[in-house]
């Protein structure tokens, strides 16, 4: 069973999860896990833990059976667990609490070698609809205060299984970094009566040289202070706090722009590029947090390992100006 521990000096929570030592690790030479043994491949449903939800064209499809478009299962090596006691414990300087939460895996496609760029557009839409559905469902548990949605592709991005999948982790608190984002957005709104993310998007559109593509309500751009080479951000041009609140036409536009983004980073940086994708969502049961937030999505290619200056001091050194990155992306649209 895992637990959260608070680092008083560094002001951050960590998850101590010793059972994850058993999680298989990936070496460069076994990037291609045998399809026969892949727990996420169609036909191998028995190799993954219980099915939580699935999208299937045949409504009569049985649970844990083939015939799905995407599928959500419980993470076998979960960092947190819904059975744990979330009550906090204080022993002098040291704060901890049981590792309560949910850790789910959204298997994006039955295709082992597929990805968001290769999937059909309606499959990418079904993927985003399923992310939306899980956010709505997990929010029903009043103990959950924040839901982190992310994917790791390639060893440099922390991937341990090749088959396309997204992780959904629900916490009984708002992570400190996210809480700081929410506070900055709130203070910006107080000072300017406008949303920080919407202003970043509209000013970037006015300047033009970091914009890669616009579609429906969404804009794809290289952020002004990109911490990593070729970093991309997708943000709406209208108020949308959470993907859970997105209308069907917004999901459709987001699917299209997301697919274009992944295709672009592969076209510019190579088929095997490692990247992290992070949904910055406001889904929360705390009405005071995330009130002025606007949803956005970050796609961060990982071209080098992370140095201590970046991981510990959180100061990035980026050799690629975002204006140049946007220009190179636009050349390959
Ligand atoms: Zn597979």
CATH number at residue 199: 3.30.428.10
Q: How far is CA 97 from CA 8, 19, 191, 205, 242, in A?
A: 14, 17, 36, 44, 27
Tens-binned pLDDT, residue by residue, of the chain (333 aa): 788 888 777 777 888 888 777 666 545 444 455 666 899 999 999 999 889 999 999 999 999 999 999 999 998 888 888 888 888 889 999 999 899 999 999 999 999 999 999 999 999 999 999 999 999 999 999 999 999 999 999 999 988 889 999 999 999 989 989 999 999 999 999 999 999 999 999 999 999 999 999 999 999 999 999 989 999 999 999 999 999 999 999 999 999 999 999 999 999 999 999 999 999 998 777 777 778 899 999 999 999 887 787 777 778 888 899 999 999 999 999
pTM for the whole structure:
0.92
What confidence score (pLDDT) does residue 29 get? 45
Q: Are 131 and 106 in contact (CB under 8 A)?
A: yes
Gap from CA of 163 to ligand 1 centroid (Å): 5
Q: Which positions ≥6 away from 155 have C-beta within 8 Å?
A: 26, 28, 31, 274
208-224 core/surface letters (b: 16 or more CB in 10 A; e: else): eebbbbebbbbbbbbbe
With CA atoms as reference, report the closest residue to 297 among 127, 47, 173, 183: 127
Q: Are 237 and 219 in contact (CB under 8 A)?
A: yes
Gap from CA of 259 to ligand 1 centroid (Å): 20
Gap from CA of 315 to ligand 1 centroid (Å): 36
Q: Which positions ≥6 away from 146 have C-beta within 8 Å?
A: 170, 171, 173, 174, 175, 178, 283, 284
Gap from CA of 167 to ligand 1 centroid (Å): 16
Cα distance between residue 308 and residue 303, in whole Å: 16
Number of Cα atoms under 13 Å in the Cβ half of residue 63? 8
What confidence score (pLDDT) does residue 37 get? 86
What residues does the ion ligand 1 have nearby, CB within 5 Å? 38, 40-41, 112, 163
Number of Cα atoms under 13 Å in the Cβ half of residue 244? 20
Maximum alpha-carbon separation in the chain: 58
What domain count does the chain have? 1
Gap from CA of 31 to ligand 1 centroid (Å): 12
Gap from CA of 168 to ligand 1 centroid (Å): 19
Cα distance between residue 138 and residue 102, in whole Å: 8
What confidence score (pLDDT) does residue 32 get? 52
Give 28: exposed, middle or buried? Use CB within 10 Å, 0-12, 13-18, 19+: exposed
266-297 core/surface letters (b: 16 or more CB in 10 A; e: else): bbebeeebbbbbebbbbbbeeeebbebbbbbb
What confidence score (pLDDT) does residue 28 get? 45
Gap from CA of 271 to ligand 1 centroid (Å): 18
Gap from CA of 236 to ligand 1 centroid (Å): 33
Gap from CA of 216 to ligand 1 centroid (Å): 33
H helices present in 38-155, as ranges: 121-139
Cα distance between residue 137 and residue 72, in whole Å: 12
- Pseudo-torsion of CA 163, 169, 276, 189, nearest 10°? 150
Structural domain of 177 = 3-331
Locate 310 and state its tokens: 């970046």
Gap from CA of 234 to ligand 1 centroid (Å): 28
Gap from CA of 48 to ligand 1 centroid (Å): 11
Cα distance between residue 231 and residue 323, in whole Å: 11
Gap from CA of 252 to ligand 1 centroid (Å): 26
């Amino acid at each position: 069973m895992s637990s959260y521990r608070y680092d008083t000096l560094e002001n951050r929570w960590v998850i101590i999860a010793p059972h994850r030592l058993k999680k298989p690790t990936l070496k460069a030479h076994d990037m291609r896990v045998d399809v026969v043994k892949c727990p996420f491949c169609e036909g191998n449903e028995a190799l993954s833990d219980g099915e939580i939800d699935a999208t299937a064209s045949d409504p009569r499809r049985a649970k844990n059976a083939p015939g799905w478009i995407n599928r959500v299962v419980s993470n076998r090596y979960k960092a947190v667990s819904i059975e744990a006691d979330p009550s906090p414990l204080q022993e002098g300087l040291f704060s901890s609490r049981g590792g309560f939460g949910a850790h789910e895996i959204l298997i994006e496609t039955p295709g082992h070698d597929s990805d968001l760029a290769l999937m059909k557009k309606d499959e990418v839409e079904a993927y985003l609809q399923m992310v939306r559905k899980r956010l709505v469902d997990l929010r029903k548990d009043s103990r959950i205060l924040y839901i982190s949605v992310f994917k790791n592709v390639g060893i440099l991005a922390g991937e341990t299984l090749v088959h396309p999948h997204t992780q959904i982790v629900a916490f009984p608190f708002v992570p400190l970094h996210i809480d700081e984002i929410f506070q900055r957005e709130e203070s910006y709104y107080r000072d300017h009566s406008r949303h920080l993310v919407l202003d970043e998007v509209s000013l970037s559109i006015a300047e033009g040289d970091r914009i890669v593509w616009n579609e429906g309500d969404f804009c794809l751009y290289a952020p002004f202070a990109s911490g990593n080479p070729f970093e991309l951000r997708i943000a709406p041009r209208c108020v949308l706090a959470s993907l859970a609140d997105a209308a069907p036409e917004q999901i459709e536009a987001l699917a299209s722009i997301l697919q274009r983004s992944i295709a672009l980073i592969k076209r510019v940086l190579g088929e095997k590029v490692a990247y992290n994708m992070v949904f910055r969502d406001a889904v929360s049961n705390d009405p005071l947090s995330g009130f002025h937030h606007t949803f956005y999505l970050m796609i961060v290619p990982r071209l080098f390992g992370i140095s201590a200056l970046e991981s510990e001091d959180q100061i990035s050194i980026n050799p690629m100006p975002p204006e140049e990155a946007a220009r190179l992306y636009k050349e390959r649209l």
